[in-house]
Every structure is written in C-alpha cells, then in structure tokens.
C-alpha cells in the first residue's frame, strides 16, 4: 500500500486564490490491477489556465487539475514498464493509479542531460502551444514582425525564440527589468517593461514604428486594445491567454475596438493547443531537436516540495516566475 498525498480545491476561487482555498489530504492506494500502473510524481506543473478552468471543469472538493512528469514505480501494463517516465494529467497528486489512458511516454530519444521537467515546458504543452499558435493560427512568415506579451513566461519565451528561428523580428513585453534582460539574452529584437514605460502606445511604436504583422496574445484586458491600434492592415492575432483577467470577480467590459478590427481588416482567433493533438508527437520531436541544437533556451522557476504547490501556483499568477513554473517533489 502506498500513501498518496493530494491537494483539493476546497471552494471555488473568489478573486485571487488564497491558502484557505486548498487542503492537503492523504489516502492509501491499493496494488495495481492487471492493466494498471502506479505513478510517482517527479515534477508538477503550475499554469495560468488552472485558474479559469477550475471554474468550468472542477467541483469544490476535487483534486486540483494539472499535469506532471511521473515515474512508473509498479506496473501490470506492458506498455509502461517500471522505471519509465510519462506525462500524466493526474492533477496535484504525489501518487496515482492509472489504467494507462492519457499517459504520454517521454520521447525515447530524450537526452540524459536534459531535465525531464522540460516535458512540462518548452518540450511540452507550452511549447506545443507556441508552435501551433505561430504556425497554424498566425501563419507567421519570414521577415514579419511579431509582438508577444507575457514574453518571459512559459509560452511567451518559446514563442519569441521560434519566431527568431523563422527569421522574424520579435518584440516582447514583460513585467520586470530582470525579465527584459532575460529576453534580450534569448535574442528578442526589442523588449520593454510594461510596468515602467510611460505610455504603452509609445513603447509599441518605438519598438516597431512600422507596426506589427502578428500579435501573440497572452494577457488580455485593456492593454490589448492599445495593441490593435498598432497592427498593420491584415494583421493576425492569436489569442492564447488572458491572464490579466483570470482573477477578476466580475467580467471586464469594454472597450471594444471592433471598428479598428474592421478598418485594418484584422484576423483574431482564439485557440487551445489540443486542437492539433494529432501532431503532438512530431511537434515534440521538433522542439527537442531545437533544444539539442541550442536554438531553444529553457528557463525554469523551480519550487521544491509538494507541500508548496499552492504557493507556487499563486506565485506564478503574480508573475514571480521567469520561464516555466514547476514544482519538484
């Protein structure tokens, strides 16, 4: 018998999450049955999507949603031998019994000197999101100018680097001077700290006087409507996230810049990476190749200790992380 620890959401978040919204529980798991495996979490992910999706996909008392890299410690399923590692949507749990459904084995060519935590970041969901947003939504072309906000986050930092691989000019917006330095080290052409610029409009115009062909949107809120004014005619916008609004108690209203969208003939499309899950395996191989070639740099913000899951989650929502926020068990 294995003791499993898990975090539950005791009540739906009202505004910004609080420690009292979470409770750590313990249960004993039985031995795996035929076809089952016992997983032990190694790294767990904390991501912005957990905040809005907790409202639509969870009930009070449910285990917090989320993805982890786990090690198979017992197996009665030949597809997942003991000692192998998988990516699993097991939520905030230290141990999980699984029948194998939904488990994604770590790529067999994964180098020993690359941390498995990257399977939750640049070579995982955030990396897939970046690729599909750039290629399938925006159709980014060589020589174009791309703007990405929350640029030092798990998705944004990968978006900018892939755009550079594709021969584009990249402008990034981030929330601290340290993040600005980090993004310049990654090769972004222009970066600014949105918290300290006097005018967002002026900062955008200075970074790219000719405007923007593509905008990879991670933040939402009123700042996004300022960006619309800077888009080129026939510009494309991939709406990936809206982190500035996730903790609002009441939905934001306006301003609505539909006339700008009409006048500039802009294309704006929301997306979720799972639309292209049939391509995940090949796309993960591309991302891993870029990492091995040194074209894709990966920064992580690692919190140690399963007991610190809520703190890591709330810190990520406050922008404490540069790169991907993960918890190491």
> Token match 């539950």: residue?
8
DSSP code at position 220: -
Token pair 């330095």 in the structure block, residue: 181
Give the chain's largest Cα–Cα span.
Answer: 65
Q: Is the pLDDT of residue 249 over 90?
A: no
Flag whether pLDDT at 325 surpasses 90. Answer: yes
Structural tokens at position 21: 């919204």
Give the other-Cβ count within 10 Å of 24's Cβ.
Answer: 13
**In this predicted structure, what is the pLDDT of residue 287?**
98
Hey, what's the torsion of the CAs at 159, 160, 164, 168, to 10 degrees?
90
- Rounded Cα distance between 172 and 164, Å, is 12
Mean of the pLDDT values across residues 160-172?
Answer: 98
| pLDDT(177) > 90 | yes
Asked whether 166 and 183 are in contact (CB, 8 A), the reply is no
**Quick one: pLDDT at residue 85?**
98
Q: Are 68 and 43 in contact (CB under 8 A)?
A: yes
pLDDT at 90 over 80: yes
pLDDT in tens, 278-318: 999 999 999 999 999 999 999 999 999 999 999 999 999 99
- For the chain, which residues make up each domain, given as ranges? 2-120+299-328, 125-274
Q: How confident is the model at residue 156 (pLDDT cuts 50, 70, 90)?
A: very high
**Residue 75's Cα: distance from chain center in Å?**
30
pLDDT at 255: 74
* pLDDT at residue 163 tops 90: yes
Domain 125-274 has CATH 3.40.50.720: yes
- pLDDT band at residue 257 using 50, 70 and 90 as cut-offs: confident
**Does pLDDT of 46 surpass 90?**
yes
Residue 215: per-residue pLDDT: 98
Q: 9: which 2 tokens?
A: 């959401």
Does position 253 have pLDDT exceeding 90, yes or no? no
Question: What is the rounded CA–CA span in Å between residue 119 and residue 123?
Answer: 5
**pLDDT exceeds cutoff 80 at 244:** yes
Looking at the predicted structure, is the pLDDT value of residue 256 above 80? no
Q: Is the Cα torsion angle 71, 307, 93, 299 positive or negative in sign?
A: negative
| Topology of the domain covering 2-120+299-328 | Quinone Oxidoreductase; Chain A, domain 1 (3.90.180)
**pLDDT band, very low/low/confident/very high, at 251 (cuts 50, 70, 90):** confident
pLDDT digits 0-9 by tens, 263-281: 999 999 999 999 999 999 9
Report pLDDT for 212: 98
Residue 224's pLDDT band (cuts 50, 70, 90): very high
Confidence of residue 27 (pLDDT cuts 50, 70, 90): very high
Residue 146 bridge partners (DSSP):
170, 214
Considering the chain, what percentage of its residues have pLDDT values greater than 90?
96
- Mean pLDDT of all residues belonging to the chain: 97
Q: Which of 86, 96, 105, 15 is nearest to 63 (CA)?
A: 96
Burial of 1 (0-12, 13-18, 19+ CB in 10 A): exposed
Q: Mean pLDDT, to the nearest integer, of 71-95? A: 98
- CA–CA separation, 237 and 248 (whole Å): 23
Would you say residue 254 has pLDDT above 80?
no
For residue 36, how many C-alpha atoms fall within 13 Å in the half-sphere facing its CB? 11
């Amino acid at each position: 018998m294995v003791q499993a620890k898990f975090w539950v959401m005791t009540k739906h978040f009202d505004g910004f999450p609080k420690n009292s919204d979470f409770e750590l529980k313990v249960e004993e798991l039985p031995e795996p049955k035929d076809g089952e495996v016992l997983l032990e979490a190694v790294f767990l992910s904390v991501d912005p999507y957990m905040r809005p999706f907790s409202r639509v996909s969870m009930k009070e008392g449910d285990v917090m949603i989320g993805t982890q890299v786990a090690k198979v410690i017992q197996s009665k399923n030949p597809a997942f031998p003991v000692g192998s590692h998988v990516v699993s949507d097991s939520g905030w749990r230290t141990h999980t019994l699984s029948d194998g459904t939904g488990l994604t084995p770590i790529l067999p060519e994964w180098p020993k000197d690359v941390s498995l935590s990257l399977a939750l970041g640049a070579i995982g969901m955030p990396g897939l999101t970046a690729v599909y947003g750039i290629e399938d939504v925006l159709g980014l072309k060589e020589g174009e100018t791309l703007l990405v906000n929350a640029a030092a986050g798990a998705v944004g930092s990968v978006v900018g680097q892939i755009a550079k691989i594709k021969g584009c000019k990249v402008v990034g917006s981030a929330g601290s001077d340290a993040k600005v330095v980090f993004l310049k080290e990654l090769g972004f052409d222009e970066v600014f700290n949105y918290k300290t610029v006097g005018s967002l409009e002026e900062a955008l115009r200075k970074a790219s006087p000719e405007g923007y062909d593509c905008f990879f949107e991670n933040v939402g809120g009123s700042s996004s409507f300022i960006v619309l004014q800077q888009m080129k005619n026939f510009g494309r916008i991939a709406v990936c996230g809206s982190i500035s609004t996730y903790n609002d108690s009441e939905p934001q209203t306006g301003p609505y810049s539909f006339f700008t969208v009409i006048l500039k003939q802009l294309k704006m499309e929301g997306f979720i990476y799972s639309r292209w899950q049939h391509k995940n395996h090949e796309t993960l191989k591309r991302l891993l190749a870029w990492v091995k070639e040194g074209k894709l740099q990966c920064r992580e913000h690692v919190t140690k200790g399963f007991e610190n899951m809520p703190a890591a989650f709330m810190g990520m929502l406050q922008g404490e992380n540069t790169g991907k926020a993960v918890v190491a068990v």
